[in-house]
Amino acid sequence: MKNKILYLSNIEIFEYCTLDRVKGTAKYQKDERPNKIDGLYFKQNELFFALYWENNSPIIYFDRQEYPLKKTLDIELIKDGKNRKFIIKDYNIYIEYKQSIYIDMDVWSNELDVDLFCKLMESYKTDEFYDNKPQKLFKFPWTKG
């Protein structure tokens, strides 16, 4: 484990998170942006999902566990109206959530801009996803990637 503490950005709302990977705890702040952003996260009630890079490889953090993200994974995003299901069968990850209310609110908020799972589905099978740092792939005005 390279960095015990990670600084993450939420792509849906203007919020940041400090994740302690050892303790499995997260602190959220809206007022102060960290000096660096290591990855992105999704939070809904008690559910927490993060994506970050370590040793030039993408890592998924879910349920206090870390999983390598690979092109060969069986990942699915099911859309049923405003209900969504994100599934990574290989790791037994099932996340049910509602479509973001921020989709199409302005020119920076299409589905790929505010839904981490849509963005992940769009990117994870491409070579570019694994060749670049997250700042290049997930560049948003509020992350200053």
4 closest CA partner among 44, 67, 52, 58: 52
Mean pLDDT of all residues in 129-142 = 58
What are the sequence ranges of the domains in the chain?
A: 5-137
pLDDT one-digit tens code per residue, 86-130: 999 999 999 999 977 766 676 666 677 778 888 888 888 888 877
- Output the six-digit token pair for 25: 């705890």
What's the Cα-to-Cα distance from 59 to each of 12, 62, 84, 128, rounded to whole Å?
Answer: 20, 10, 22, 16
pLDDT one-digit tens code per residue, 16-42: 999 999 999 999 998 788 888 888 999
Distance CA 62, CA 102 (A): 24
- Buried b or exposed e, range 32-46, using 16+ CB within 10 angstroms: ebeeebbbbbbbeee
Q: Name the band, by pLDDT with cuts 50, 70 and 90, for residue 78.
A: very high
- Output the six-digit token pair for 111: 């589905």
Rounded to a whole number of angstroms, the distance between the first and last alpha carbons of the chain is: 23
94 closest CA partner among 49, 53, 131: 49
CB of 79 closer than 8 Å to CB of 111:
no
